[in-house]
Structure 1
């Protein structure tokens, strides 16, 4: 037990300094997750004070034994600082437990949503900026907690996160969680779609599954994209042009060998229309297309030509394919 406590103390110090490796982040997440599942054996206030006093006494005795008498007085202040640091680490679990279970202030959550065809920019309490794509929703606290910045996303957004190594920034989606200290990246996580995608423009990003038991962390650098397929339960990493990441902010639609079914979902979000497929065989037909600020009619015309001139019809907010 003592060895485990020492390891947790060392991890806590590295975490506070923003120096944890992905594997160490996993250990810390497992530790914190244990609060929710099985609880954590926390000492009482008297025990923590006793242990802190004992640590201070041991430190002073060590100095008295190993240093010259003239230097002992000079070392008192640093010793007390070390003892205070030990007390802080030792009581961290208790403080977290009390904040979570005894009189913690309720978190006030704010929500911002965009309608189909509408994009919006949101500035978070820490100054980070989120560009929210159409048909998307973010949920975030009115004030971030003292040790972490967490938000929830449904849909697509481009994040420009203020760098803060002491307060990791975590985005929760239905399929994955994304953690950074400060960087810019895009998350595509629309409900009802098979793929959830994370692409990095600057910095480094850690990604892991929301329900993965092993909680393996995938690290991404600029120009890399990680896609999680909810049907196959598999991850796939690929490379992108950095300039293409988040290009939807400039009204650019970029489909890379995408199925017509997924393209229709994207067009529904961007133009506020619904699609009906009379010819179901067209659903899995794949297309490569990149257009900017084009009308829906022109996009469908380009898709039809490259797809063998399949028939389509636009009637108000309804599109019929086949």
Structure 2
């Protein structure tokens, strides 16, 4: 019993410090709910501290006035148990009571989106900075919770996260969850792309797929990239130069043996144009090109020269290939 009490007190302290895991939070709520299930209903929240003081005083006075320990245990153990429970709840567990039984308030979310060809920087309430690439959306709560800093990303962003070991920073994409305590990294998670990619510039990053029954966490360190294929549900881990991570922030276009189909998607977002492929055999042709952002005409010219001089034309916001 003493060991269990110590465990509960340790959990309560962790809860107060915002360090509980989801499993520990569930354990705390189950512990609280067990009181009523066992026939010991707790009073209303505003009565907890007063009731704890009164119950404890009564129990202590009674013990002082009686000498027969056997009789005490037989008749008054329930009183002492309730007093101890109320005292624990009053000291640390009242926070748990509020967490387990408070009325959930709707979370007010802020949403920031970038149009095609536009980049934007967002500074969060904790000081973390998000650089948002074109055609992307980030959603985050106006105020972070007491335990985590969570947000949602569709598109691409570079994160510079303020270190806070008590409040993990978690980014939700369509498939993956990316968690850090404080670091810098890039996430590419466009909904029309086959791969979701996470690349780390500094610190350490944990990545896992929330839809998998057996949670496997991939740990990434600086210079490592994890690519998740949304179609085949497969992972590929690779290395890359630190200078290349998030290079799009300096308007660098970096295609590494990418298909022309994927390149056209990137160029569509970067220049706000639509691609039409008359020769669909070119879609799977791969190119390698790294260049500082230039005019779309120059980019297409470079691609055409390196790809056997395929024909192309630009008319307003429409690009025709083949």
Partner of 2:99: 96
Give a deviation string over 1:117-166, Cα, whole Å, max 9, x none: 00000011111110000000011111111111111110000000111101
- CA shift, 1:291, in A, is 0.7
RMSD: 3.5
Q: Equivalent residue of 1:297, what SS?
A: helix
Q: Distance in 1 between matches of 2:31 and 2:212?
A: 21
8 Å contact kept, 2:135–2:155 = yes
Q: Distance in 2 between matches of 1:243 and 1:51?
A: 60
Q: Distance in 2 between matches of 1:163 and 1:269?
A: 32
Indicate how the Cα distance of structure 1 residues 15 and 178 shifts in structure 2: closer, same or farther if over 3 A, else same.
farther
- CA shift, 1:13, in A, is 6.7
Q: Distance in 2 between matches of 1:8 and 1:228?
A: 40
Q: Distance in 2 between matches of 1:33 and 1:84?
A: 18
TM-score by length of 1: 0.76
Partner of 2:66: none
Q: Which runs of 5+ in 1 are unaligned?
A: 58-82
- CA shift, 1:210, in A, is 2.6
Paired residues, what number? 282
Partner of 2:247: 247
Partner of 2:145: 145
8 Å contact kept, 1:312–1:320 = yes
Give a deviation string over 1:64-122, Cα, whole Å, max 9, x none: xxxxxxxxxxxxxxxxxxx969963x6665432224xx2x4432111110000000000
- CA shift, 1:3, in A, is 9.0
Indicate how the Cα distance of structure 1 residues 11 and 246 shifts in structure 2: closer, same or farther if over 3 A, else same.
farther
Q: Distance in 2 between matches of 1:176 and 1:151?
A: 12
Bigger Cα Rg: 2
Q: Distance in 2 between matches of 1:3 and 1:279?
A: 72
Indicate how the Cα distance of structure 1 residues 295 and 32 shifts in structure 2: closer, same or farther if over 3 A, else same.
farther
Q: Distance in 2 between matches of 1:33 and 1:204?
A: 27
Q: Which runs of 5+ in 2 are unaligned?
A: 36-40, 60-86
Alignment of 1:112 onto 2:112: yes
Partner of 2:303: 303
Q: Distance in 1 between matches of 2:131 and 2:196?
A: 17
Q: Distance in 2 between matches of 1:221 and 1:16?
A: 31
Q: Distance in 2 between matches of 1:184 and 1:33?
A: 31
